[in-house]
Amino acid sequence: MASDFRRKEILPDITDQIVQSYHEIGSINHLGHCPLPSYSEIVDLLADLKEVLYPGYRRRQNLHFGNVTYHVGDILDNMHDRMTQQICRASRHDYMTKNDTDCEEVIDRDFEAEAQDITIDFLKCLPSLRALLAKDVQAAFDGDPAAANLDEIIFSYPGLEAITVHRIAHELYKRNVPYIPRMMSEWSHSRTGIDIHPGAVIGESFFIDHGTGVVIGETCEILSNVKIYQGVTLGALSFPKDGEGKLIRGQKRHPTIGEGVVIYANATILGGNTVVGANSVIGASVSLMKSVPPNTIVTIEKPSLKFREAS
């Protein structure tokens, strides 16, 4: 025990060195009186939203039309306050970062009122979001012969989990909410292995089968009735830079996928000018960096197999 105590005597010195690094390396710590959005709170809000979007499938069971109004109303009332707080924190911090101000400075802007307006506007979209997700669930059932029923898809399909979180995050992204949409999408990424940037525009009846390793970039546009398999990348071909060598942001960098397209496993489609025409099929492991006309099948030539006797 005495030896263990002597070993621990160095802990105050290690603590001092770590804290000193906070002074020297300020880019990866946030120490101040202005709170940031809470990661755990954002995850909890996602759980509440999924409870509202898929009632009866998540936390609360034995719901029926006699009690569901109270249940949803209670969630929305609680969620309104918490979401307003998180959006307010995100907006204030984003403003401070862009304008090099701090919390103590008087700012003639009501972040809380703005956050409340955004929250109410977002909550209004939940009925239409449910209609969109119902089509995603149906697309999964129609596109996967292994699916026994819609319940199985809602309970267990990672592709549906990913598109659900994406559609939530995308609505906040459209309303210019900073930080929170990416926090949501990266949580979903860690859960499902599917990486969808909240800026991506995805049409109705979208189905990701299996899903692990799928990457969909920020400026990607996907029209309705598209189906993709695991390992598909819809990415950028290059990152243009300005005269100072800094990345030029805000340009379209990712492909457009037409209506009814099917993209098989491990295909890679790159570039903001790349358009895959409607009802085309992109075969497994295809690497594509140019546009494809509608109704086109793109495959790679099968490699020849060689057999030899084992030694």
Mean pLDDT computed over 249-258: 92
Could you tell me if residue 2 is inside a domain? no
pLDDT band at 4 (very low <50, low <70, confident <90, very high): low
Per-residue model confidence (pLDDT) at position 2: 53
174 and 146 fall within a common domain: yes
75 and 188 fall within a common domain: yes
pLDDT band at 59 (very low <50, low <70, confident <90, very high): confident
Please give the angle made by the CA atoms of 207, 212 and 213, to the nearest 5 degrees. 105
Domain count within the chain: 2
pTM score, two decimals?
0.91
Average pLDDT of the chain, as a whole number: 93
pLDDT tens sequence across 76-131 = 999 999 999 999 999 999 998 888 887 767 678 899 999 999 999 999 999 999 99
296 and 150 fall within a common domain: no
On the CB side of 170, CA atoms within 13 Å amount to 23
Could you tell me if residue 92 is inside a domain? yes
111 and 40 fall within a common domain: yes
Per-residue model confidence (pLDDT) at position 237: 87
Could you tell me if residue 21 is inside a domain? no
On the CB side of 122, CA atoms within 13 Å amount to 26
Q: Which long-range contacts (CB under 8 A, 24 or more apart) does 26-32 make?
A: 32/102, 32/103
Domain range for 90 is 32-193
221 and 189 fall within a common domain: no
Could you tell me if residue 22 is inside a domain? no
290 and 183 fall within a common domain: no
What does the alpha-carbon distance between residue 198 and residue 172 come to, in Å, rounded to a whole number? 8
Mean pLDDT computed over 266-290: 97
Q: Specify the CATH number for the domain of residue 244.
A: 2.160.10.10
What does the alpha-carbon distance between residue 252 and residue 228 come to, in Å, rounded to a whole number? 21
Could you tell me if residue 9 is inside a domain? no
On the CB side of 235, CA atoms within 13 Å amount to 15
Could you tell me if residue 120 is inside a domain? yes
pLDDT tens sequence across 237-252 = 877 777 777 777 778 9
Could you tell me if residue 20 is inside a domain? no
259 and 127 fall within a common domain: no
Q: Does the pLDDT at position 278 exceed 90?
A: yes
Q: Does the pLDDT at position 40 exceed 70?
A: yes
Q: Specify the CATH number for the domain of residue 131.
A: 1.10.3130.10
Q: Does the pLDDT at position 22 exceed 70?
A: yes
Give the domain-ending residue among 193, 226, 257: 193
145 and 42 fall within a common domain: yes
137 and 50 fall within a common domain: yes
